[in-house]
A and B are shown apart, each in its own frame.
Chain A
């Protein structure tokens, strides 16, 4: 079924009896050409682009829970391509371009809203760094705009520009950045993949790999063995747990990142603002809630919940830059588990086991990467060569000294 304005009107007039499920509840077959482990945004996007762009068939996505129940529904929904390094920026700009055409491509309203993102500047050194980053962005075809304090005040009159510790001295804006309804991304990709014949198999947890003579023949699951020519792991957050079944140790630690949403308010915040120096960023959802977050808690965790010191730190940062935030009540808070990699950048690569591929290490940047991650992973799975924008995301970059370390923090995952 194709969604359209006409269809909405027709259903409204006929009692909404014509809507069917957006995707089939498929049962696993004995074997597939491609088995994607993980029915999050990245896994569903991978299956979709495998079918659509690379004309592959016999594809399954295995999800241990339900579609939209993992990190794709736990993030703060921001899209942007404001990276500095050559290994990253072309990839994220490719992703932003895919976001711009996503809804027409999927025939699904994902509420892509290019309301702009602004990184605040507080010092001369920070301005120099942001000018450099903006130039790197423009060299890679992205948009970047250096704003003065006066321009920021005109757009965001409620910001505390005269904070004693972090006065606002300007900002780097990317007007094409913004937010997307994250659940709709999972649903849209699931529906579009299903329409192209992909089997989406929920409540199917992978418990092991069948590996013989260095070749992966398929996966053991809670619903029996499923054979596959190629297996693609795509379970950021749980990557180390999954790949340990294949005897692999990864350059990854799992960390918890908390996020928060206030009660619904009238429109007050037109865009995304990041206050990096105060470990705080915020946007307003279409439902009205202020969606905000800060740093990871900083210790290994699979608990999907954090601790109070970070809650205090995030709220202090928010109050310092957004004094009006104190009038809003906190409605919900939650935690998600990140693959924090050793250089803060992801991995999309083959493994040393034939037929087994890996996608993970997204740190807290996975949501914005969803379309490009799926496209690049589908490219790798279908052609056995990396996508031109993802050639740097290799496993061996650590051994070779070719880290993609945006912040220059070194091999300390909780600092990225």
Chain B
């Protein structure tokens, strides 16, 4: 698999470390009244879809950026790659 890095261009997937579902960006608020349930869900439960999947890849053997890759789990086709920083900022989670 080639991952088309937004700033570096196409890179082999073996340069990256796979973390999992990009929903991990949305860490629950620790002071929420149902924080315990939210953190159990966040830590352990996954949608695990067959089809389009937004997921986190870390460019460990490269520029050490985190990416949000949209990939089809049935075909491995990658349709979109963004810097995780940009995604987090868009969701109001990063400065």
Q: Decide if B12 is an interface residue (CB 8 Å cutoff).
A: yes
* A302 partner, pick from B41, B47, B74, beta carbons under 8 A: B74
Contacts of B73 in A (CB 8 A): 254, 300-303
- In chain A, residues 26-81, which have Cβ atoms closer than 8 Å to a Cβ of chain B? none
Q: Is B20 within 8 A of A413, CB to CB?
A: yes
Interface members, chain A 391-416 (any B CB < 8 Å) = 398-399, 411-414
Interface flag for B32 (CB, 8 Å): no
**Contact residues of B: prevailing secondary structure:** mixed
**Contact of A301 with B48 in the complex, beta carbons under 8 Å:** no
Chain B residue contacts of A249, Cβ below 8 A: 41, 45-48
Contacts of B47 in A (CB 8 A): 240, 244, 249
- Whether the pair A303, B20 counts as a contact (CB closer than 8 A) is no
Closest CB-CB distance, A210 to chain B, in whole Å? 22
List A residues 219-264 near B (Cβ within 8 Å).
238, 240-241, 244, 249-254
Cα distance, A414 to B45, chains bound together (Å): 14
A303 and B13 CA atoms in complex are apart in Å by: 17
In the complex, which of the residues B20, B46, B76 contacts A307, with contact meaning CB atoms closer than 8 Å? B76
On whether the beta carbons of A250 and B46 are closer than 8 Å, the reply is yes
Q: Is the CB of A251 within 8 A of B13?
A: no
Does B46 lie within 8 Å of A398, measured CB to CB?
Answer: no
- The answer, yes or no, to whether A309 is at the interface (CB within 8 Å) is yes
Determine whether the beta carbon of A302 is less than 8 Å from that of B50: yes
In the complex, chain A residues 98-143 whose Cβ is within 8 Å of any chain B Cβ: none
Q: How far does the alpha carbon of A238 sit from the alpha carbon of B40 in the complex, in Å?
A: 22
B13 and A240 contact, CB distance less than 8 A? no
Picked from B1, B41, B43, B55, the residue with its CB within 8 Å of the CB of A300 is B55
The contact of A309 among B13, B19, B21, B49, by CB within 8 Å, is B13
Nearest A residue to B18 via CB reads: A299
Given contacts A302-B74, A303-B74, contact A309 B18 (CB under 8 A): no
- Contact status of A412 and B20, CB under 8 A, knowing A303-B73, A303-B75, A307-B1: yes
* Contact A300/B48 with A253-B20, A399-B40, A414-B18 known, Cβ cut-off 8 Å: yes
Judged by a CB distance under 8 angstroms, whether B79 is at the interface is no
Cα A319 to Cα B1 with chains together (Å): 24
> What 1/0 flags go to B30-61 for Cβ under 8 Å of A?
00000000001101111111100101000000
Q: How far is the CA of A299 from the CA of B3 in the complex (A)?
A: 13
State the Cβ distance, B53 to closest chain A Cβ, in Å.
6
Q: Which residue of B lies closest to A312 (CB)?
A: B14
Q: How far is the CB of B49 from chain A (nearest CB, A)?
A: 8
Q: Contact string, B54-81, partner A, CB cutoff 8 A, digits 1/0?
A: 0100000000000000010111100000
How far apart are the CA atoms of A355 and B75 in the complex, in Å? 35
Q: Is A290 interfacial (CB-CB < 8 Å)?
A: no
Residue in B19, B41, B48, B76 whose beta carbon sits within 8 Å of that of A303 in the complex:
B76
Is A291's beta carbon under 8 Å from chain B?
Answer: no
Which residues of A have CB within 8 Å of B12? Answer: 309
Given contact pairs A300-B73, A307-B1, A253 touches B46 in the complex (Cβ within 8 A)? yes
With A and B bound together, what is the CA distance between A412 and B46 in angstroms?
Answer: 11
Instruction: Point out the residue from A254, A411, A414 that lies within 8 Å of B48, measured CB to CB.
Output: A254
Q: How far apart sit A411 and B40, CA to CA, in the bound complex (Å)? A: 11
Q: When the two chains form the complex, which single residue of B13, B44, B53, B55 contacts A411, counting CB atoms closer than 8 Å?
A: B44
Min distance, Cβ A71 to any Cβ of chain B, angstroms: 16
CB distance from B72 to the nearest CB of A (A): 9
Complex CA gap A360/B53 in Å reads 22
The answer to whether A251 and B55 have CB atoms under 8 Å apart is: no
Q: How far is the CB of A410 from chain B (nearest CB, A)?
A: 9
Q: Does A342 contact B (CB under 8 A)?
A: yes
Nearest chain B CB to A279 CB, angstrom units: 14
A79 CA to B17 CA, complexed, in Å: 31
Write the nearest CB–CB distance from B17 to chain A, whole angstroms: 8
Contacts of B41 in A (CB 8 A): 249
Taking a contact as CB atoms under 8 Å apart, the answer to whether B48 and A250 are in contact is yes
Tell me the minimal C-beta distance from B76 to chain A in angstroms: 6
Min C-beta distance of B87 to chain A, whole Å? 18
8 A-B pairs with least C-beta separation: A240-B48, A309-B14, A398-B44, A249-B45, A251-B44, A302-B50, A299-B18, A399-B40
Q: Smallest CB-CB separation from B17: which chain A residue?
A: A298
Closest to A310 in B: B14
Other contacts beyond A251-B45, A253-B48, A307-B76: 15, CB < 8 A: A241-B50, A249-B41, A249-B46, A250-B46, A251-B46, A253-B21, A254-B48, A254-B73, A299-B55, A300-B48, A300-B55, A302-B74, A307-B1, A398-B44, A414-B18
